[in-house]
Structure 1
């Protein structure tokens, strides 16, 4: 079973927090608990942070070639057979995909190799230039 984890940029501060999403995004608020102790069917939350709902991304369950967790919203370099791709990780049509916006192609995340996270759309929007 894959690990369910989210990240979000801390509201009014620098950096991200990683953990369990507490508040539904539809409410306009989002909190991520990052110090959670689970005992049986109970979860005890020691610490949480309010995050910007626009920056909440889900973990794909996969890691890049350097062991870094791959999240929705990450910008990656990878290969599809012999073709080098720079794309955005998105959840599309019930699957995690690398969206190569430049060539208007989608590649299933499990079909690409040598994937490396080079940034994310929240902290590194300049990496998206040339992809549109």
Structure 2
């Protein structure tokens, strides 16, 4: 079974990973405002408020370099390892109950992590989207 965790960008621009909580209304007794929060296993008060648009789920795989892959990551197929595939950029997305790699011309829903490399993400590196969306 894969580990369920999320990544999100904290308001100051740093990234954090852990459990996701979405607070819909203010919790006065704890001083918590509505928003998206990522915390470690200890939970509140060790939670970081994150930008909701940057939240992405860990897909349960690591790339060829051992880096965890999250929804919203920009991916490059390694042409040297998979010569039958052109080196192309993709974005990791959740579609129809599964994670896929997608770009403007195709969607790959069956892939192995040993031939792909995380090269950035759509939030910090929007220029990588050229050719990927």
TM > 0.5:
yes
Alignment of 1:67-78 (within 5 A): 67-78=66-77
In structure 2, the residue corresponding to 1:126 is in which secondary structure? Answer: helix
Q: Aligned pairs, how many?
A: 121
Match of 1:2 in 2: 2
Segments of structure 2 that go 5 or more residues without pairing to the other structure are 26-33
Q: TM-score, normalised by structure 2?
A: 0.80
In structure 2, the residue corresponding to 1:60 is in which secondary structure? Answer: strand
Does the CA-based 8 Å contact 1:78-1:112 persist in structure 2? no
Distance 2:62 2:113 in 1: 12
What's the CA shift string for 1:72-128, capped at 9, x where partnerless? 000001157711221000011111110022x2x110153575110000001000111
Does structure 1 residue 33 correspond to structure 2 residue 35? no
More strand by share: 1
Match of 1:110 in 2: 111
Does the CA-based 8 Å contact 2:56-2:70 persist in structure 1? yes
Greater mean alpha carbon deviation, residues 89-98 or residues 44-53: 44-53
Does structure 1 residue 55 correspond to structure 2 residue 54? yes
Alignment of 1:74-89 (within 5 A): 74-78=73-77, 82-84=84-86, 85-89=88-92
Moved over 6 A (4+): none
Aligned-pair Cα RMSD in Å: 2.2
Does the CA-based 8 Å contact 2:89-2:128 persist in structure 1? no
Distance 2:101 2:84 in 1: 16
Does structure 1 residue 100 correspond to structure 2 residue 106? no
